[in-house]
Amino acid sequence: MDKKFDLNRLNTKAFAREGLSLQGHESLSQFSRLGDLALSPSETHLKEAFQTPQVAWAVQGDLVPVSGGDPQVWLHLQAELELPMQCQRCMGQVKLSVKADTSYRFVSDEATAEAEDDESDEDLLVLTPELNVLELIEDELIMSAPLVPKHEICPVLVPMSAVDEAFEKALEARPKPFAALAQLKKKPT
Instruction: Find how far residue 50's CA is from the centre of its chain.
Output: 20
> What is the mean pLDDT of the segment spanning 86-113?
92
d(C-alpha 60, C-alpha 180), whole Å: 79
pLDDT at residue 76 tops 90 = yes
Tens digits of per-residue pLDDT, 100-109?
A: 999 999 998 8
Report pLDDT for 112.
86
Tens digits of per-residue pLDDT, 143-179?
A: 999 999 999 998 888 777 777 778 778 878 887 778 7
**In 18-145, at which residue ranges do the beta strands (DSSP E only) sit?**
21-27, 54-66, 69-86, 93-107, 123-126
Q: In angstroms, what CA-CA distances link 55 with 25, 35, 72, 76, 178?
A: 5, 11, 28, 16, 63
d(C-alpha 167, C-alpha 154), whole Å: 26
Residues 6+ apart with CB under 8 A from 103: 74, 75, 76, 77, 122, 123
Residue ranges covered by each domain of the chain: 12-158
pLDDT at residue 1 tops 50 = no
d(C-alpha 93, C-alpha 29), whole Å: 19
Tell which residue, 53, 74, 91, 79, has the closest CA to residue 142. Answer: 79
User: Do residues 37 and 139 make contact, with C-beta atoms less than 8 angstroms apart?
Assistant: no
